[in-house]
Amino acid sequence: MNGCRMRMSKTTPSDKAKNKGRPSVEAVNIWPAPGFSSIQLHRGQKVTQAYPRHWHDELYFGAILGGTGMLKYAGSSHATPRGTITVIPPGEIHANHKEACSFRCMIFDCEVAKTVFENFTERALPSISFRDAVSADARTFAEFVELHRLLEAPHSTLKTDSAVSHFLYKVVLRYGTSGLPPSFAVGQEDVAVQRIKQFLHDHYAERVTLSELSRDAKLSPFHLNRAFCRNVGMPPHAYQIHIRVSRAQLFLRSGRSIVETAAATGFVDQSHFSNQFKKFVGLTPGKYIRLSKKIQDSG
């Protein structure tokens, strides 16, 4: 993926001497989203920086968590206070200024984002364009921050695939210029959902993608996810995690170690396993083992 054409400032020793004693800690981090080579994540804290006119080769999303800023785009200036989200299509020239600003940004390869949207909705999209560059919609802001945090660490492939697809779908639906996607016929979705449920039971430890499930179900990812939620009460990734935790309980009761159980049930690491196990069972795996042993001994 091409990098952003931006100029980043550096702090010199003389600058440090001038700023000595000031209670400001400025930091910017940039890294690829785990499992998504086409998505780059940015996170900044207390950044004061003037970015000259530039453009991105990719689709840019930015959310202001603290401080304030100003965006110059399409001949207009837009204030970007806390709680606003900025959307800049690829190739659009803009400039901005950040003042003691904390933010999260996400940069998508535009063609990949377009393909994700088209696969998700089964609708061709000529291009991705938006009516507004800045939005103060609290719902979209919260959804973006939630997705950014989710992508910071490894998770179930099915979960991250679904989250990225849903976010792109909702943003294009709310702010895009291409109109609404068409409605879908119900067809044989109940049969398809039952087939997917069985597939997830048979392959609970595997890294399954939403695209793979949709091909097997012969439904679009959007249609499959909607039908699955309506029929089962939860999305496919949550259903898969529930199966993994149920299997993990059996493995732990049979004497397998926590490390062995986490690997056997498909969790990305022991920490992820422990968090999900406690979320569903209400106990950490260690406490579950001790309680199960106590029950067995008393019996």
Given pLDDT bands bounded at 50, 70 and 90, which one contains residue 8? very low
% of residues, the chain, pLDDT over 90: 27
Given pLDDT bands bounded at 50, 70 and 90, which one contains residue 178? low
Question: Domain residues for 100?
Answer: 13-151
**pLDDT at residue 125 above 70?**
yes
- Count of structural domains within the chain: 3
Q: Do 144 and 65 share a structural domain? A: yes
Q: Out of 207, 233, 259, pick the residue that ends a domain.
A: 233
> What pLDDT is recorded for position 138?
94
Q: Out of 233, 267, 285, pick the residue that ends a domain.
A: 233
Calculate mean pLDDT across residues 2-20.
38
pTM, two decimals, is 0.60
CATH number (domain holding residue 53)? 2.60.120.10
> What pLDDT is recorded for position 179?
56
Given pLDDT bands bounded at 50, 70 and 90, which one contains residue 109? confident
Q: Do 283 and 222 share a structural domain? A: no
Q: Do 222 and 147 share a structural domain? A: no
Angle between helices 221-232 and 210-217 (to 10 degrees): 80
Per residue in 267-279, pLDDT (tens digit) is 988 898 998 888 8
Q: Do 140 and 49 share a structural domain? A: yes
CATH number (domain holding residue 268)? 1.10.10.60
